[in-house]
Amino acid sequence: MTTAADSILDITHVCVTDRPLVVCDVDDVVLHFTDPFVDFLSAEGYEFLPRSFKLTGNILARESGLEIDAAEVKRLIHAFFEAQETWQLPFEDVARTLEALSADADVVFLTAMPPCYSEQRRRLLDRLGLAFPMIASEEPKGPIMRRLNAERILPTTFIDDMAYNLHSVREHMPDSLLIQLMPDTPLRLMAPKPQDDIVRARDWRHAEELIRGHWQPR
Ligand SMILES: [Mg+2]
């Protein structure tokens, strides 16, 4: 039987070796998302009000003052991804940290972005010195990471800002080190919290310490 996780998603371009695996989300982990998206909305004539941790219902058309509907929110998110090379910037220390980790581990980006914007994202990451393999998929992340890791029994790490992605990986890769990394914005204070055993990294330097600690024999 074919399940959603075994579906048509092609990950054959990602080669993992016999080293530890570090799988990393992109939006609001490697590249800023929320802040530039709010700026993009403003440039397009919209205003974002961080009243709760969601986009639909919190974006107003400036001219009418009315909330826009889910279809219009989706259109704007897609337009932002289309134009991401103009808007998105990396977090501090991310390129240096991933480069250092990649001397000892396989680093892979797993981005929950519509795959049709992969070319823009690939160009942007490459331009920023983040030339690690990337998988773009809106499927649950846990099954994808399990497929990627296959039967290897080396240390694995997953880094994401969203609790539901961290929980998905924990369900399918229970021995992984799970790190939450996210910008400190008012919006984030309203986000669902991950479960207690998921560690929050302050920044990329802290994340590197946690990852290298996970590689030490216990
Ligand atoms: Mg993210």
The pLDDT, as a whole number, for residue 109 is 98
Tens of pLDDT, residue by residue over 191-218, are: 888 888 899 999 999 999 999 999 987 6
* CA 3 to ligand 1 center in whole angstroms: 24
* CA 171 to ligand 1 center in whole angstroms: 18
* CA 159 to ligand 1 center in whole angstroms: 9
Q: List, as own/partner pairs, every contact residues 79-83 make where C-beta atoms lie below 8 angstroms and the sequence separation is at least 24, other chains included.
A: 79/40, 79/44, 80/36, 80/37, 80/40, 81/113, 81/114, 81/117, 81/120, 81/121, 82/117, 82/120, 83/40, 83/120
* CA 19 to ligand 1 center in whole angstroms: 25
User: pTM for the full model?
Assistant: 0.93
Domains of the chain: 4-32+89-215 (3.40.50.1000), 34-86 (no CATH)
Looking at residues 129-152, what average pLDDT do you find? Answer: 95
Confidence of residue 185 (pLDDT cuts 50, 70, 90): confident
* CA 70 to ligand 1 center in whole angstroms: 20
* CA 180 to ligand 1 center in whole angstroms: 10
Sign of dihedral through CA atoms 122, 163, 213, 216? negative
* CA 45 to ligand 1 center in whole angstroms: 25
Which residues are CB-contacts of 209 (< 8 A; sequence separation ≥ 6)? none
* CA 111 to ligand 1 center in whole angstroms: 7
* CA 29 to ligand 1 center in whole angstroms: 6
